Structure 1
Amino acid sequence: MPGHCCDHCADGPIRPGEGYRKLLWVALAINFLMFAVEVLSGFRGRSVSLLADSLDFLGDAANYGISLFVLGMSVGVRAQASRLKAASMLVFGIWVLGMACWHVNAGSSPRVPTMSVVGICALLANGVVAALLFRYRKGDSNMRSVWLCTRNDVLGNVAVLFAALGVLGTGSAWPDLIVAAIMSTLALTSAVHIMRQSRVELRDGAGRCEAAVKS
């Protein structure tokens, strides 16, 4: 039965246990909560970097949900899920660039206290998630995408805090806009990396299936 064979051939060497599943549920809850906090604070504080970070939280919550759904399935299924998540990261990066351009034309200036307080809370939340998932950072493309999203969140939170300092020191919105552009670039490069790894996994899985069928 070729279908059954391919499912078996596609199974990868890493099969995370129940502990990893529980960590994903914790990460999902934290990210969804922080999305609600940051999207409200971003609009009230007129900060593009906070809005970018809030959408990133929402995207990560969805990514953790997808990872939970495909956990334990074949590498092929997980690789396809990774492609979906990479596509969402691409959309996120493009959206942030668009928001930055809009704010350049609008000439609005973000509120430093809001950026600082929410940025610190977001950094603490993502720091906890990153510490929990650190041991799973070198798995397949699906696990790798989870780690990269989490790592990007931590870097993004640190960048938001630097943006707040920049806005405070210069009295200009440019530090906020520059940080938003950096965050979007990070999302785009991570998406490309995940796409490449998932393509290799799909190709290797197909090769193993073909060899098994011939034998």
Structure 2
Amino acid sequence: MVHTEIAMASCGSCCGSDVKFEGLSPDYKRRLWAVIGINAGMFLVETGGGHLAGSNALQADALDFLGDALTYGITLAAIGAAAATRAKAALFKGFTLFLMGVWVFGSTAYHVLVLGIPRAELMGAIGFLALAANVTSLLLLIRYKDGDANVRSVWLCSRNDAIGNVAVMIAAAAVWLTTSKWPDLIVAAIMAGLFLWSAFQILRQSLAELREPVSLSAG
């Protein structure tokens, strides 16, 4: 049974195949639980580190970790549910990601008016730790990167995390070199844009799946 489910996961990523992996694999669920733990732990680390460093980019990344932990929990709850339920769960996650992007944009705009330069060395250290956590998550999930909207949203969130951590480390180096807060704020704004773009992708796929519930059930 497990081998069949893994084969379905692989088939879902084949070119021209209409089969979409729905998360019905014990291995996939175990990996999700591991990634939830990683993200919850890094949310706590980056929340504290972001405040200590005075970094808006780190705080934005911490919010992303929290959003991902919640997103993966919703994904687990929706696995095995009806196609329309899975698509609605993805739709909810898409709206959540959109709101996160809007919040980070607003927070960044506010911090433009606030004096203070982030502590580059702390930004870089925490950014490196977060990158290691997200690369681990990506390696755990890469086998299941293609699937229905519920499964795909997990991959997009994890990919965003890794990109965001690389950006935070670049911002830390730029803050150290320029002794300016602007690199931190620019990276936070770029991350917000990435949140919004991923939200658009998730919303578009989930809405398409909601319009074709019969085809999903048949897959």
Give the alignment's TM-score, normalised by structure 1. Answer: 0.89
| Residues 31, 207 of structure 1: alpha-carbon distance in 2 compared, 3 angstrom cutoff | closer
Q: Give the secondary-structure state (helix, strand or coil) at the position aligned to 1:105.
A: coil
- Counterpart in 1 of 2:51? 43
- Counterpart in 2 of 1:64? 72
Cα separation, 2, equivalents of 1:188 and 1:174? 21
Cα separation, 1, equivalents of 2:51 and 2:21? 42
Say yes or no: does 1:110 pair with 2:111: no
- 1:184-209 residue CA offsets vs partner (Å, 9 max, x unmatched): 00000100111010111111115788
- 1:147-195 residue CA offsets vs partner (Å, 9 max, x unmatched): 0000000000000000001101111000000000000000001001110
Cα separation, 1, equivalents of 2:156 and 2:216? 27
Cα offset, 1:113, TM superposition: 1.2
Cα separation, 2, equivalents of 1:182 and 1:48? 12
- Structure number with greater Rg is 1
Say yes or no: does 1:14 pair with 2:4: no
Gaps of 5+ in 2: 1-18
- Counterpart in 2 of 1:166? 174
Cα separation, 1, equivalents of 2:43 and 2:208? 32
Give the alignment's TM-score, normalised by structure 2. Answer: 0.87
Q: Give the secondary-structure state (helix, strand or coil) at the position aligned to 1:106.
A: coil
Please provide the CA RMSD for this pair.
Answer: 1.4
Cα separation, 2, equivalents of 1:161 and 1:140? 32
Query: What aligned pairs does 1:55-204 form with structure 2 within 5 A after superposition?
Result: 55-204=63-212
- Counterpart in 1 of 2:32? 24
- 1:70-124 residue CA offsets vs partner (Å, 9 max, x unmatched): 1111221111000111111111111111111111101221101110110000000
Cα offset, 1:14, TM superposition: 2.4
Cα separation, 1, equivalents of 2:216 and 2:45? 46
Check the 8 A contact 2:20/2:146 in 1, yes or no: no
Gaps of 5+ in 1: 1-11, 210-215
Cα separation, 1, equivalents of 2:185 and 2:83? 39
Report the residue type matching 2:107 in the other structure.
M
Q: Percent identity?
A: 46
Name which of structure 1's ranges 27-36 and 97-106 shifts more when overlaid on structure 2. 97-106
Report the residue type matching 1:180 in the other structure.
A
Cα separation, 2, equivalents of 1:208 and 1:149? 23
Q: Give the secondary-structure state (helix, strand or coil) at the position aligned to 2:152.
A: helix
Cα offset, 1:21, TM superposition: 0.4
- Counterpart in 2 of 1:7? none
